[in-house]
Amino acid sequence: MTGKYTSVLVNDPYTLENLAINTSVTFLTWFKKKYSTEIVESKWIVERFLSQEQFNSADTPDMYRERIRPYLTYISYADLLPYLYYHLFENIEVQMRMNSPADINAFFNSLTIICCELNQKQAFQIRQNKKVQKTSPLKPLKDIEEINTTALFKELYNLEYRDGPI
């Protein structure tokens, strides 16, 4: 074994009798307790991380997956899903809830598809807006401002000489 579980103690600190770990049964008992302790602590850390994480507008689904993936082993999918929904933008979250992915791989596949669809729609809208701007010239704002200021000065001039100086 490597990592957290390399140092097996002589006696089991998780049992009241503090039995010696010298048989497979006592080893498995110790291992289950040690594993659950490590997982509970790790789960708490993961929940703290996930509560502060967000899916940014500059992120791609692959970038988000790579950032989140190391933390997914410590928490079940049912417990993870509310955090993942909270990270997403509202329009993506609604579509994800409608799809209701069955597991984490399906979640990321759906996220990729939805983001691609949204990017295509946004690109289409930008092209349409450029076409509309080319076909419908707008009246320059300077002319409107000049007309309004000219009318305003005439009105002030009439008030000043009709009623006396202001």
* Residue 83 or residue 2, greater confidence: 83
**What is the H or E stretch that residue 102 is in?**
none
> Percent of the chain scored above 70 by pLDDT?
58
The pLDDT value recorded for residue 6 is: 57
Does the pLDDT at position 35 exceed 80?
no
Alpha helices in 53-89 (DSSP H): 61-68, 77-87
Model confidence band, residue 106 (pLDDT cutoffs 50, 70, 90)? very high
**What are the start-end ranges of the E strands in 44-87?**
none
Q: Which of 26, 83, 94 is nearest to 49 (CA)?
A: 83
The pLDDT value recorded for residue 138 is: 56
Model confidence band, residue 22 (pLDDT cutoffs 50, 70, 90)? low
The two tokens of residue 133 are 């701007």
The two tokens of residue 92 are 């993506």
* Residue 73 or residue 148, greater confidence: 73
To the nearest whole number, what is the mean pLDDT of the chain? Answer: 75
Flag whether the pTM goes above 0.95.
no
Ranges of each domain in the chain = 3-137, 138-166
* Residue 34 or residue 103, greater confidence: 103
- 113-142 pLDDT tens trace: 998 888 877 766 666 666 666 665 555 555
The pLDDT value recorded for residue 37 is: 72
